[in-house]
């Protein structure tokens, strides 16, 4: 029986991985959102998700919360929300920002697009992102500016967001937990650059911790080297046989009682991967002679991309996996595909702020 349940869950996990990887953001949102908010005043209905459903929608292999699928939802109205009748799964992380937002309401599609953009934009460019929202350039994002830009950003079927007065009224009056969190229920608070940056940091911290706990089920603070390989290669185009080989290789170097990977090391490499093409570009830059980069150079690049110290052990692991010819050097091609797959598997490639400068894009 248990085996059967497990294989059913594996099938579901694989199906959800495909949704995250191949669907457009609106379809991803509809798949994971389990509520339909009914506005009793005008009869309008809109899909909404819980903060943990947001986590699930950007985390491949997620088993904490599963999507309900398109067209499946529970109807709620403002009264029911205010009365606390919506029972949401809560995040186990202490000081959880997802729970803080959840206490104030659900997430709309615009919220989803915004949060996705926030976590998939490299920290180095967060000020640029802030400036995009601060339309008036006075150093504060007001609720109106937020509504305007997030609607423009939201991908809608039939083209990107258009924006009308009705949209603005709807959004500002909506029960969005994120708007309540950022601008207060009366929409009279504004968002400073500091608060904006803090939101990105807090969100990423929590999402990374939640994902780490998917492996570290007993909350020991470490995961095995093999789990780290799984985390890196999730959904990659790598053949299952090749993946199994890599895991075996890593396991034989660091057997069950190996050192393991700590949460800070995991987090710092998550940031490297989330940094878009930064790592690839930096590798290319340092490797103009085409001789590859050694471990120390790789560690330096990774630390600089993630803006945190990348651990020696993680670098050892990466080389164990990817340095096929064992010359102690990695080339751009050794890592480019993994990086790309990793971002695609969580929809980051669709959500990040895109900036381009001539032929260069981030």
What is the distance between the alpha carbons of residues 319 and 251, in angstroms, rounded to a whole number?
Answer: 14
Shortest CB 135 distance to Ca ion, Å: 6
Shortest CB 310 distance to Ca ion, Å: 19
Shortest CB 323 distance to Ca ion, Å: 4
Q: Which helix (H) or strand (E) holds 212?
A: helix 193-215
Contact between 332 and Ca ion per CB under 5 A: no
DSSP assignments along 86-143, one per residue:
-------STT-HHHHHHHH--B-HHHHHHHHHHHHS-GGGHHHHHHHH-TT-SSEE-H
User: Which segment (13-21, 55-63, 161-169, 322-330) binds Ca ion by CB under 5 A?
Assistant: 322-330
Q: Which residue number, 76 or 336, has a Cβ lying nearer to Ca ion?
A: 336
**Nearest residue relative to Ca ion (C-beta):** 136
Number of neighbouring beta carbons within 10 Å of residue 193: 15
Q: Token digits for 245?
A: 């080989």
Shortest CB 333 distance to Ca ion, Å: 10
Closest-CA residue to 298 (of 266, 323, 264): 323
Q: Token digits for 96?
A: 């959880």
Contact between 325 and Ca ion per CB under 5 A: yes
Work out which of 7, 128, 136, 245 binds Ca ion, going by CB under 5 A: 136
Shortest CB 138 distance to Ca ion, Å: 5
**Per-residue binding letters, 289-318, with Ca ion (x by CB under 5 A):** ------------------------------
| 301 contacts 286 by C-beta, under 8 angstroms | yes
Contact between 61 and Ca ion per CB under 5 A: no
Q: Which helix (H) or strand (E) holds 317?
A: helix 312-322
Contact between 329 and Ca ion per CB under 5 A: yes
Contact between 327 and Ca ion per CB under 5 A: yes
Q: Please tell me the count of residues contacting Ca ion according to CB under 5 A.
A: 8
Closest-CA residue to 58 (of 93, 34, 23): 23
User: Which segment (29-37, 210-218, 310-318, 329-337) binds Ca ion by CB under 5 A?
Assistant: 329-337
User: Which segment (122-130, 132-140, 178-186, 208-216) binds Ca ion by CB under 5 A?
Assistant: 132-140
Work out the widest C-alpha separation in the chain, in whole angstroms: 68
Contact between 361 and Ca ion per CB under 5 A: no
What is the distance between the alpha carbons of residues 353 and 333, in angstroms, rounded to a whole number?
Answer: 25
User: Which segment (34-42, 128-136, 180-188, 211-219) binds Ca ion by CB under 5 A?
Assistant: 128-136
Category of 256 on φ-ψ map: left (φ > 0), alpha (ψ -120 to 50) or beta: alpha
Q: Which residue number, 136 or 291, has a Cβ lying nearer to Ca ion?
A: 136
Q: Which residue number, 92 or 328, has a Cβ lying nearer to Ca ion?
A: 328
Q: Which residue number, 222 or 249, has a Cβ lying nearer to Ca ion?
A: 249
Shortest CB 195 distance to Ca ion, Å: 13
**Residue 128: alpha-carbon gap to chain centroid:** 19
Report the residue count for the chain: 362
What is the distance between the alpha carbons of residues 208 and 109, in angstroms, rounded to a whole number?
Answer: 22
Q: Which residue number, 34 or 190, has a Cβ lying nearer to Ca ion?
A: 190
User: What does the DSSP 8-state code read for residue 219?
Assistant: -
Q: Which residue number, 327 or 333, has a Cβ lying nearer to Ca ion?
A: 327
Residues forming contacts to Ca ion in the complex (CB under 5 A) are 134, 136, 138, 140, 323, 325, 327, 329
């Amino acid at each position: 029986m248990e085996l059967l349940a497990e294989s059913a869950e594996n099938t579901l996990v694989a199906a959800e991985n495909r949704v995250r990887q191949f669907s457009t953001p609106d379809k991803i949102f509809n798949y994971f959102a389990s509520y339909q908010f009914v506005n009793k005043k005008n009869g309008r209905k809109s899909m909404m998700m819980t903060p943990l459903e947001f986590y699930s929608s950007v985390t491949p292999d997620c088993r904490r919360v599963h999507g309900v699928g398109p067209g499946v939802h529970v109807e709620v109205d403002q009264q029911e929300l205010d009365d606390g009748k919506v029972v949401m799964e809560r995040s186990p992380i202490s000081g959880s920002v997802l729970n803080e937002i959840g206490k104030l309401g659900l997430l709309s599609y615009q919220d989803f697009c915004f949060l996705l953009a926030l976590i998939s934009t490299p920290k180095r460019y967060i000020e640029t992102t802030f400036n995009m929202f601060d339309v008036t350039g006075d150093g504060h994002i007001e609720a109106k500016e937020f509504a305007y830009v997030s609607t423009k950003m939201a991908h809608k079927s039939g083209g990107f967001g258009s924006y009308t007065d009705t949209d603005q009224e709807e959004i500002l009056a909506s029960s969005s937990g994120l708007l309540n969190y950022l601008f207060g229920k009366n929409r009279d608070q504004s968002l400073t650059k500091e608060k904006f940056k803090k939101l990105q940091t807090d969100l990423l911290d929590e999402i990374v911790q939640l994902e780490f706990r998917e492996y570290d089920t007993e909350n020991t603070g470490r995961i095995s080297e093999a789990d780290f390989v799984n985390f890196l290669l999730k959904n990659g185009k790598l053949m299952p046989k090749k993946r199994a080989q890599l895991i075996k290789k890593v396991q034989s170097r660091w057997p069950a009682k190996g050192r393991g990977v700590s949460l800070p090391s995991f987090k710092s490499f998550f940031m490297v991967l989330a940094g878009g093409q930064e790592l690839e570009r930096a590798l290319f830059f340092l490797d103009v002679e085409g001789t590859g980069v050694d471990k120390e150079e790789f560690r330096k690049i990774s630390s600089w991309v993630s803006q945190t110290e990348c651990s020696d052990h993680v670098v050892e692991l990466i080389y164990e996996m990817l340095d096929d010819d064992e010359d102690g050097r990695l080339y751009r091609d050794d890592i480019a595909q993994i990086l790309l797959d990793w971002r695609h598997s969580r929809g980051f490639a669709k959500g990040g702020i895109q900036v381009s400068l001539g032929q260069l894009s981030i």
